[in-house]
Amino acid sequence: MKLSVETMFHRFFGTELLTREGLTFGFCVSFSGILTFKPAKVVQRVAKVVPADWVLIETDASFLAPMPMRCMRNEPASVAQT
């Protein structure tokens, strides 16, 4: 399926219910480095319900770098860790 991104949840860290609702409307879900933080269990659970071809990974969320670069400036090179 070819995805056309018209609407997305940007730097998402909402609930599974909100995610499922957004997906029914065709929203993509964009995750930042928060996904890699140990306390981010809700975000990690949510990421599992989003179809892989509807996931976007943040590279421009300057202060949301993934572990182990947490507290450092985020950059596109960090996308592999997210």
pLDDT in tens, 35-77: 899 999 999 999 999 999 888 887 766 778 888 877 787 778 7
pTM of the model: 0.77
Burial of 28 (0-12, 13-18, 19+ CB in 10 A): buried
Contact (Cβ atoms closer than 8 angstroms) between residue 54 and residue 3: yes
Contact (Cβ atoms closer than 8 angstroms) between residue 66 and residue 82: yes
Average the pLDDT over 4-32 and give the result: 84
Domain boundaries of the chain, sorted by first residue: 8-80
